[in-house]
Structure 1
């Protein structure tokens, strides 16, 4: 089997490529490197001892995609490529709808033209919307999303669902995951955001290593245990293995939806204190105003993935912060 992984040089993508190779699944990566570094794939090759075919291209480039499908015998696509920062999406909605929605449409068209009808899509818990009650369950309808990032993911879910409904040859898996953090235990690959991090964990790690002066916690007046936002944080290696499980378990037609999360919520302050405690470092922080588009708290019910995919999160919060710190210490400036 050979799998096309879009966005495969990125954070989640590179960890998934590694897990695919560990299962002896051949991989072709397409990535425009806007939020990624090809060094991640070189390190994946070193860690696995197996080659990765890499094509630098944007998923909105239909000619480039057609060439990839013509050159390689692709059995399935795992689709990560896209923009992913909630705050940035509020400021730059057109960028998100172009990269995420239009890009996914172009990819699906290229797949159909090549006769490839299996896709695993990197979706998000944000599609449940701001009115959903945690824990989120797959039977809940998609709700009113609170930011363009979430809206773009919901739109792509609908596009792919419609495609699968129109043609029974298609098998589409929508993986709605929560907040991936951590890094590979080797410390060789991890999260390397461009510029100022938009997500909590890389910001904490950069403060710890001295790249940032202090952490800003966006709001401490939410209706949560300590007033800071609560999220379901998931180790990126567990998440990557979830994609492999989905690839191996779901081959029948139609649309299949799975939550990937731990089922436990952790607040921002709890995460900071866990990082300090496990790694014996100090993380200075200040309280800043709330950030547009943020919800107070949500977490997963991942029973369906356990039952149908034989997947469950295995790593705990201590593993997440320990592996993050190992990556950041070994790579204080990321892949540079």
Structure 2
């Protein structure tokens, strides 16, 4: 283990938990914080099972600066990977103030805690939603940002905040990772996406249809200017995505300042193509219905990942068929996700959370 640690906020979530696995497998020292409002402590137990390593975990909310500072005081942190936040596009249009308060205010408090603790390296979990309805496909990082929903705007505003901080103060380094559509699960089938309530994203919803928890999938919009009328997205395997965070973390050691990277495959698939691909993994046709467009959705979000390929020496390698197979492996082994497991964090992990 290296002496200094990486702090992972939101490390019990879908992408965060898979990134913690990759960090531990690369012999990094890791400290995880999560408030567990949209995740489960069982994810931490599964990480420990997969890696056979103990995870240092604190039940802490990023809105609680006092607790954040306590974590920084207890551990020698050299970098932060920041996942914590609310993350549903549709929900953000209904409760925008919750999103702005949690995501933006929480990040400002985290950055203040980092500054006071002399930690100046951050890898930020941004999103392709910052591009809004892009004029160029595949999307390069040079394209102007202009999110079309509150969730995307929180990511866009946080990017500006981090960029301004890097400009104003010396020795700050930040990687703003704009990732496209995470999908799939850990190949062991032990860990995967664990949506609480009704899933907001295509693949976890489709997998719940496959196990009988949902009657059918609603396909939002079938009149887009695409080959079959449905939206196009760039689906990247969550393990590839996790490895992208390690590559970005390694980049911090070069002192790059503030840099942006698309993490995607560079290949777009329509919703109907994804349904057919998942049908293949499951071995049968799954029911779906074509319904009206969803507020905030755009026609096509496909990455140009050339910059990340070149500068981070990283590339998405896992195929769409493998991604669908890993998702079905996870869902069939865990029909209720992590809901059947006791998710309470140990009492000693609670410092002072809101």
TM-score, normalised with respect to structure 2:
0.93
What is the CA deviation profile of residues 121-162 of structure 1, one whole-angstrom value per residue up to 9, with x for unaligned ones? 0001111122432111112222x2110011000000000000
Distance across 1 between alignment mates of 2:57 and 2:291: 41
What SS does the corresponding residue of 2:318 show, helix, strand or coil? coil
TM-score under structure 1 length normalisation: 0.98
8 Å Cα contact 1:66-1:114 kept in structure 2 = yes
Q: For this pair of structures, how many residues does the alignment match?
A: 335
Q: Is the 8 A contact 2:63 2:106 kept in 1?
A: yes
Structure 1 residues without counterparts, runs of 5 or longer? none
Of residues 247, 253, 274, the one that matches 1:245 is 247
How do residues 1-336 of structure 1 correspond to structure 2 at under 5 angstroms? 1-142=4-145, 144-251=146-253, 252-336=255-339
Superposed displacement of residue 253, structure 1: 4.5
Deviation at 1:270, TM superposition (A): 0.5
CA contact (8 A) 1:191 1:202 kept: yes
Following superposition, the deviation at residue 197 of structure 1 comes to 0.4
Q: Distance in 1 between matches of 2:256 and 2:183?
A: 32
1:282, distance to aligned residue in structure 2 (A): 2.6
* Unaligned segments of structure 2, at least 5 residues: 340-354
For 2:323 and 2:102, the matched residues in 1 are separated by: 29
- Residue 281 of structure 1, CA deviation: 2.7
- Contact 1:104–1:156 under 8 Å retained in 2: yes
Aligned counterparts of 2:193 and 2:285: Cα–Cα separation in 1: 20
Distance 1:317 1:253, change over 3 A: closer
Are the aligned partners of 2:281 and 2:328 in contact in 1 as well (CA < 8 Å)?
Answer: no
RMSD over equivalenced CA pairs, Å: 0.9
Paired residues of 2:65 and 2:113 also in contact (CA < 8 A): yes
Instruction: Decide whether the 8 Å contact of 1:216 with 1:288 is kept in 2.
Output: yes
Aligned to 1:206, the other structure's residue is in SS state: helix
Partner SS, residue 195 of structure 1? coil
Shift of 1:238: 0.1
What does the per-residue CA deviation read over 1:69-124, in whole Å, with 9 as the maximum and x for residues that have no partner? 00011110000000111111111111111111111101000000000000000001
Cα deviation code 1:293-315 (max 9, x no counterpart): 00011200101111111100000
Query: Does structure 2 conserve the Cα–Cα contact (< 8 Å) formed by 1:169 and 1:253?
Result: no
* Structure 2 Cα separation of the partners of residues 161 and 249 of structure 1: 16
CA distance in 1, matches of 2:250, 2:264: 19
- The alignment partner of 1:172 has SS state of strand
Q: Find the aligned partners of 1:131 and 1:155 in 2 and give their Cα distance.
A: 18
Measured after TM superposition, the shift of residue 285 of structure 1 is 0.6
Higher relative contact order (CA closer than 8 Å, sequence separation 6+): 2
